[in-house]
Chains A and B, each alone.
Chain A
Amino acid sequence: MKSISLYRDNGTWLCRVHPFTKLMYIASAILVPLLIGSLWAYAVFIALDVIILLSGKSLKRARGLVIFSLTIILTIFIIRGLFDEDNITPLFSIGPAVFYVEGLMKALHTGCVIINMLLSFSILVLTSKPEDIADEMERHGFSPRFSYVISSVFSIIPQMMSTMSTITDAQKSRGMETEGSLSKRMKAFIPLITPVVTSSLINTRERAIALEVRGFSSAKKRTFLNPWKKHRGDAAMTIIMLITVIATAIWRLATWLL
């Protein structure tokens, strides 16, 4: 059973960094350029994302996510470049289609926002184990139920997918066509989805009992098998990033007010 989690422990320093530090980084990577508002700020953070991922040997795996988003970004470029309401200055034309500077600049801005967000999130997603994130949240006061949901989703979804393929086989064996015209596929929907739902309800009920008999709802204060090994600089980095965000916010406010 493969987990659908994107996390791989490749042994680099980045995997040892506390998930909260990474969360703080995501917050500052999103907020700081947003507050500054100019393209260079995005450029700086995208460069930072790339450097971090590169030194954590995870850039290659982040590439997939970025390529996936490129189609959306390309669409934004075309639509903004052609049709944006502020378009005045033509830049170039392909046949009858004229692209304008203003629209393309806006599209560039949006594109940077998306890429920066994806890259900074991928730092967390690619290099932190979901269970660790959940454990850490629980240790810092989140409810155990909440952290259970986070960590179990990654193994329960693949399970449901494998149930789904068994169900498809079982219905095919009873003469139901699952391939072919749209109407055939529509007809196949109910016989496929109903058993998935009922069997996951049955499984969930059993699993709830299994958790219960292992004291899941026990009122005792929980302990943890693996105490988090602090990475050097976790606290310092978090504070520096927090200060950066606050400083940018103050600067932004000041420029507005003065």
Chain B
Amino acid sequence: MAFIEIENLKYRYPKAERLALDGISLSIEKGSFVGIIGRNGAGKSTLASAIIGLVPQFYKGAYGGKVSVAGMDAATVPVGELSRKVGLIFQNPFNQLSGAKDNVYEETCFGMQNFGIEPDEMRRRADETLKMLGIYDFRDRNPFDLSGGQMQRVAIASILVLHPEVIILDEPTSQLDPAGSDEVFKAVERLTEEGITVIMIEQKIDKIAEYSDRMILLDDGKLIADGTPDEVLSREGLDAYGIIPPASVRISKALGYKDGQGFYPATADKAVKLLSGKIQFKQHIEDDKTTQSSERISVQNLSFHYHEGLDILHDFSLSLDGRTTAIIGQNGAGKTTLAKLLKGLLKPSEGKILLDGNDISSSTAASLAGSIGYVFQNPDDQIFKPKVIDEVMFGPLNIGMNDEEAKESAMEALSMVNLASASERNPYDLDLHERKLVALASVIAMDPDVIILDEPTIAQDDSGKQLIQKIIRGLRDNDKLVISILHDMDLVAASFERVIAMASGTIIADGTPREVFSNEDVLRKAGLELPHITMLAKKLSSGSVVLSDEEFLGLVGS
């Protein structure tokens, strides 16, 4: 019998109508790295919860079938018992800290104390694990003061010290910047070397394809495909399941190259092996013609500090026109501070900000609401109405629209984010990715001239990401200035005309995506990766910076 055996598992959440898991059967042997993919709502997290017994023990609901882990029945053996064999890591690193310990070392030992492990053994395991994950130097720091990537590694360490045989990671990098997410992927890779079975749920298909040796595709609670990443991602009609295959698969498929087993390569490295020598890049791409329009926002000699003498921004100047603009850079580069200054949430200590020629540096955020919109990362920080439509109408009513106008504007914004049909529902009955869209609609509905988006693609699956691209295009067509703080380089390549890279409060590059992505020095300083398609082309020595599949295929000809 395999280590994990799942037989015809069916499960429905309490009060739900639809089955969250519908007849799943699979077995997982020890030592493998299994990637689970699928759109939001496909049942991935529910499956993870079922393996560790949270479904049905914690969530209740209707349960059928059988899940056994190391011979234990996951439906009846208490979660506390199962968790000695199976560890679970989830998205939000913050909520995984116990909150009862004020340093990393004690936090790591929290679980071991619960299981009654002797102090000497605790120290041995904690030392070993913290070193392995590269966070030993932070052992005396307060875990809440760490960056997301570091915090997530603390969460992984606190599980690993329990010596589980399987570790389940539920989108562990979705809330991290590229550097943080890379730290976590590297840490996870070490686990497989240690012989631990890894089950990882991930939306970053390109990334998970690189790491897993087996891939499971779920949709609507059903198991759709189960095989090697090459096999699963080579399937036809993946878009019906909300999955966009990696760049390597898309390009090989378009060019008609398969590997010996008849599959398309799921990783860039495999694609390079398969394609190099077979394709030739014809010419260089012409430099983009910049369509600079008239100035909208002018930032003049701006300085800002939280603590006297420690300027986050110093004598900072920037001019923004109508082009969609992405602001990229590592955490702590000053991106959010800049965005909050533009929105009037922070007041500059020196300098001015002009919007269409008027000085707004002393205006309040509320009085700017009609002209500058700001969509926050976490929708739960703003949603308070029991109905979606009321939530979206809140802003328009605040800025002086009457009921009718507000309603009309709100419905228009909701249909832009594909949620018009949900207007009468309670926002908290929607999933997180939908609530994010509600928050976005609630800002669009105020019809501001400038919209600032803070990490709009976090929590979105591939189809959600495409919707965001469409919304950004729509806003641009309506002459709105879209400014976005972003870590998602694929989105930068697809949707933005201008990229501003920041590091420690200064602009280190400013230009078209092609210009910025061609400057390796800048990318390294900003701690950023190339978009996947750009990376693939580069590995195949394209000679120029490729930003889309079309460009790629145009260059190699057919």
User: Which chain A residues have a beta carbon within 8 Å of chain B's beta carbons?
Assistant: 1, 3, 129, 131, 134, 144, 148, 151-152, 154-156, 158-159, 163, 166-167, 169-179, 190-191, 194-195, 198-199, 202-203, 206-207, 209-227
Contact = CB atoms under 8 A, between A and B. Distances in A.
27 contacts: A1-B144, A3-B102, A134-B100, A154-B102, A155-B99, A155-B100, A155-B144, A159-B94, A163-B381, A169-B340, A169-B365, A170-B382, A173-B373, A175-B446, A179-B364, A191-B384, A202-B380, A209-B54, A210-B90, A210-B155, A213-B79, A214-B111, A214-B158, A215-B84, A215-B115, A215-B162, A223-B119
A131 B105 CA distance: 14
Contacts of B117: 223
A202 B98 CA distance: 15
B138 interface: no
Contacts of A199: 378, 380-381
A175 B443 CA distance: 10
A217 B53 CA distance: 14
Given A174-B369, A175-B366, A212 B79 contact: yes
Contacts of A169: 340, 345, 365, 376
B517 interface: no
Contacts of A144: 114
B384 A210 contact: no
Contacts of B367: 175
B472 interface: no
A218 B114 contact: yes
B381 A166 contact: yes
B150 interface: no
B167 to A, nearest CB: 11
Given A207-B95, A215-B114, 14 more contacts: A151-B99, A152-B98, A156-B99, A169-B345, A170-B374, A174-B394, A174-B446, A191-B382, A213-B87, A214-B159, A215-B80, A218-B81, A225-B109, A225-B119
Q: Which 4 A-B pairs have the closest CB atoms?
A: A175-B369, A175-B398, A214-B111, A194-B384
B115 A218 contact: yes
Contacts of A156: 99
A194 B427 CA distance: 13
Interface string B88-114: 101010111111111001100111111
A151 B119 CA distance: 20
A172 B399 CA distance: 11
A44 B99 CA distance: 40
A159 B144 contact: yes
Given A152-B98, A155-B144, A173 B343 contact: yes
Contact of A214 (B81, B94, B114): B114
Contacts of B366: 172-173, 175-178
Contacts of B443: 173-174
Interface string B383-403: 110000000001100110000
Contacts of B52: 213
A3 B90 contact: no
A17 B116 CA distance: 26
A131 B345 contact: no
Given A1-B142, A215-B114, A170 B100 contact: no
A82 B368 CA distance: 54
Interface string B311-354: 00000000000000000000000000000100101000000000
Secondary structure at the A interface, as helix, strand, loop or mixed, is helix
Contacts of A212: 54, 58, 79-80, 83
B442 interface: yes
A131 B357 CA distance: 55
Contacts, number: 188
A224 B52 CA distance: 26
Nearest to B145: A1
Nearest to B382: A170
Contacts of B41: none
Given A171-B382, A174-B394, A190-B384, A213 B83 contact: yes
Contact of B345 (A158, A172, A210): A172
B80 A218 contact: yes
A152 B100 contact: yes
B63 interface: no
B118 interface: yes
Given A190-B384, A216-B114, A224-B113, A155 B398 contact: no
Contacts of A148: 98, 100
Contacts of A175: 366-367, 369-370, 395, 398-399, 446
A224 B119 contact: yes
A137 to B, nearest CB: 13
Nearest to A148: B100
A129 B159 CA distance: 26
B116 A220 contact: yes
Contacts of A207: 95-96, 98-99
A174 B381 contact: no
Nearest to B428: A198
Contacts of B119: 223-227
Contact of A216 (B80, B87, B102): B80
B75 interface: no
Most interface-central of B78, B95, B100, B366 (chain A CB within 10 A):
B100
Given A173-B369, A220-B115, A210 B340 contact: no
Contacts of A195: 380-384
A218 B84 CA distance: 10
B69 interface: no
B525 to A, nearest CB: 28
Contacts of A194: 383-384
Most interface-central of A172, A179, A195, A214 (chain B CB within 10 A):
A214
B122 interface: yes
B116 A223 contact: yes
B137 to A, nearest CB: 19
A146 to B, nearest CB: 12
Contacts of B112: 223, 225
Most interface-central of A134, A194, A211 (chain B CB within 10 A):
A211
B398 A174 contact: yes
Given A214-B83, A214-B110, A222-B116, A174 B145 contact: no
Nearest to A208: B58
Nearest to A158: B144
A137 B373 CA distance: 51
Contacts of B114: 144, 214-216, 218, 220, 222
A216 B115 CA distance: 8
B63 to A, nearest CB: 17
Nearest to B98: A211
A18 B292 CA distance: 70
A151 B97 CA distance: 13
Given A198-B428, A217-B80, A131 B398 contact: no
A256 B425 CA distance: 71
